[in-house]
């Protein structure tokens, strides 16, 4: 019974960790113009730090995931928290654009990657029922960042310069994330297997589509794994640019910065509802079905940004877009858990996080280049919508593994 209750502690800790980590990294869109105006660095140059960050997340995610499978989530989360706080301080003291790109991009990206995949992998192992809801609740915690950390960053930068703002955010990261990391534990099935000195494979004690002996190499060569990665890439490429550049886009439409940041908050608030709704829908109708149709609506939401220029219209589109893109994201972890053994969850979810981060890396630099070249963000949203249609079509091709056949008993 204690384990049943403690799994909700894992969910709460994961949500808080994700909120603070995401908020720290996504403070850059809020600080984009203050940094560019104070330093003289180009919007494209500053945006590229985010692109480097997503690339760093991509290549670090799988490594952190593999390490999570071996040593458990707590050491990984603790290391990521310490690195994140330190890297924000270093970024705040960068003396050149290249130094800022390297520090904020590389180190912040690597540190943030230590939170998402390990947390999702851990939570999926703690839940046999209500798995979609549990993962969505963790994701909802992450979605609190636009409503908490983003407004905080916007407020801080009105009182201090951007460097001091980053240093304050670094202190918040250290004070909150380090203690929270200590609360996270391995799933009971994996912990028991480790203590027994056995292979940490919980497939024998809970439903799984695959035979327990399936290797990581076999899993990664499967069509299911490849389709999952491609769908996640195109999905993240769809919402990356709109997430990063909408505040800047709204400012170019004549909306003040504080009001423009509120669009980001509306998107985040709608995203919380989307995560919960999609979690319930995923448990009821199946993760694949809900994911695919959500991707189609996400594409339409990206196209809709081209049509808006007033604050009220931004709120409407941001609410729809945030509800959908935030809602679909937790379903990738659910699909992974439904189709691959628990012992490799860190690796599989780390790999999907890797491709998702690569997709996220496209938006900041593409949007910055489009704006610097054409003095308009319209092309960014048209491109994003096209990528969203691609994600929908790829998702339709996903076919779950056939259930493992029971081994006949010989009398």
Q: Domain-by-domain residue ranges, the chain?
A: 2-183+213-395
What token pair was written down for 196? 């027994």
Which of residues 144 and 109 earns the better pLDDT score?
Answer: 109
Handedness of CA 25, 30, 32, 34 (dihedral sign): negative
pLDDT of 10 strictly over 50: yes
Tens digit of each residue's pLDDT (9 = 90 or more) over 364-394: 888 888 988 888 899 999 999 999 999 999 9
Question: Are the beta carbons of 383 and 369 closer than 8 angstroms?
Answer: no
Residue 410 main-chain phi, psi, to 5 deg = -95, 125
Instruction: Indicate the pLDDT class of residue 201, thresholds 50, 70 and 90.
Output: very low
| Other beta carbons within 10 Å of 128 | 13
Instruction: Give the model's confidence band at 142: pLDDT under 50 very low, under 70 low, under 90 confident, else very high.
Output: confident
Residue 183: pLDDT over 50 = yes
Q: Return mean pLDDT, the chain.
A: 84
Identify the top-confidence range among 17-31, 228-242, 328-342: 228-242
Q: Indicate the length of the chain as a whole number.
A: 411
CA–CA gap between residue 67 and residue 54 (Å, rounded): 20
Region label for 72, one of left (φ > 0), alpha (ψ between -120 and 50) or beta (otherwise): left
SS (H, E, C) 198-250: CCCCHHHCCCCCCCCCCCHHHHHHCHHHHHHHHHHHHHHHHHHHHHHHHHHHH
Task: Pull the structure tokens for residue 350.
Answer: 């780390």
Q: Measuring CA to CA, how many Å separate 27 from each of 145, 147, 244, 286?
A: 9, 12, 10, 34
Burial 15-27 (b: 16+ CB within 10 A, else e): bbbbbbbbbbbbb
Supply the pLDDT for residue 317.
95
At residue 2 the predicted structure's pLDDT band, cuts being 50, 70 and 90, is low
Of 112-126, 192-206, 320-334, 348-362, minimum mean pLDDT range:
192-206
Long-range residue pairs from 185-194, CB within 8 A, at least 24 positions apart, any chain: 185/6, 185/10, 185/72, 185/73, 185/74, 185/122, 186/72, 186/73, 186/122, 186/125, 187/122, 187/125, 187/126, 187/342, 188/3, 188/126, 189/125, 189/342, 190/72, 190/125, 190/342, 190/343, 191/72, 193/343
Model pLDDT for residues 75-105, shown as the tens digit of each residue: 999 999 999 999 999 999 998 999 999 899 8
C-alpha–C-alpha distance, residues 291 and 232, integer Å: 10
Class at the top of the CATH hierarchy for domain 2-183+213-395? mainly alpha
Residue 4 banded pLDDT, cuts 50, 70, 90:
low
Q: Residue 5's pLDDT is what? A: 74
Record the pTM: 0.71
Q: What is the pLDDT of residue 204?
A: 42
CA-CA distance, 35 to 151, in Å (whole number)? 17
pLDDT digits (tens, 9 = 90+) for 250-297: 999 999 888 888 887 788 788 888 888 888 888 888 888 999 999 999
Say how far apart CA 382 and CA 367 lie, in whole Å: 11
User: Which of the given ranges, 32-36, 389-393, 404-408, has the highest pLDDT on average?
Assistant: 389-393
What average pLDDT does the segment 197-205 reach? Answer: 44
| Residue, of 134 and 222, whose pLDDT is higher | 222
Instruction: Decide: residue 47, CB within 10 A, 0-12 exposed, 13-18 middle, 19+ buried.
Output: buried
Does position 20 have pLDDT exceeding 70, yes or no?
A: yes
The reported pLDDT for the residue numbered 275 is: 83
Residue 203: pLDDT over 50: no
């Amino acid at each position: 019974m204690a384990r049943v209750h403690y799994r909700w502690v894992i969910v709460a800790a994961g949500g808080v960790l994700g909120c603070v980590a995401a908020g720290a990294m996504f403070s850059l869109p809020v600080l984009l113009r203050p940094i560019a105006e104070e330093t003289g660095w180009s919007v494209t140059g500053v945006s590229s730090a985010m692109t480097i960050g997503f690339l760093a997340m991509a290549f670090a995610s799988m490594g952190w995931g593999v390490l999570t499978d071996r040593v458990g989530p707590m050491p990984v989360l603790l290391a990521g928290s310490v690195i994140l706080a330190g890297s924000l301080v270093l970024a705040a003291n960068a003396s050149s654009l290249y130094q800022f790109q390297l520090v904020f991009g590389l180190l912040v990206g690597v540190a943030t990657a230590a939170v998402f995949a390990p947390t999702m992998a851990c939570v999926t192992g703690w839940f046999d029922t209500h798995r979609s809801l549990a993962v969505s609740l963790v994701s909802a915690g992450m979605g609190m960042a636009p409503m908490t950390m983003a407004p905080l960053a916007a407020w801080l930068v009105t009182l201090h310069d951007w460097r001091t703002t980053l240093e304050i955010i670094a202190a918040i990261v250290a004070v909150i994330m380090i203690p929270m990391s200590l609360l996270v534990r391995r799933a009971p099935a994996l912990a028991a297997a480790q203590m027994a000195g056995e292979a940490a494979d919980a497939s024998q004690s809970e439903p799984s589509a695959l035979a327990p002996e399936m290797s990581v190499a076999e899993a990664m060569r499967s069509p299911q794994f490849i389709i999952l990665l491609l769908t996640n890439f195109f999905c993240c490429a769809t919402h990356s640019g709109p997430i990063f550049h909408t505040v800047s886009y709204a400012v170019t439409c004549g909306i003040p910065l504080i009001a423009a940041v509120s669009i980001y908050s509306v998107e985040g608030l709608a995203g919380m509802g989307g995560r919960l709704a999609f979690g319930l829908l995923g448990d009821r109708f199946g993760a694949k079905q809900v994911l695919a149709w959500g991707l189609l609506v996400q594409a339409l939401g990206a196209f809709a940004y081209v049509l808006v220029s007033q604050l009220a219209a931004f709120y409407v589109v941001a609410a729809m877009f945030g509800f959908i893109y935030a809602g679909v994201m937790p379903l990738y972890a659910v699909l992974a858990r439904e189709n691959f053994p628990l012992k490799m969850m860190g690796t599989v979810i780390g790999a999907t996080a890797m491709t998702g981060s690569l997709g996220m890396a496209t938006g900041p630099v593409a949007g910055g280049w489009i704006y610097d070249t054409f003095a308009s963000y319209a092309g960014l949203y048209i491109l994003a919508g096209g990528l969203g249609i691609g994600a929908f079509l790829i998702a339709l091709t996903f076919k779950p593994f056939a259930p493992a056949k029971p081994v006949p008993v010989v009398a």
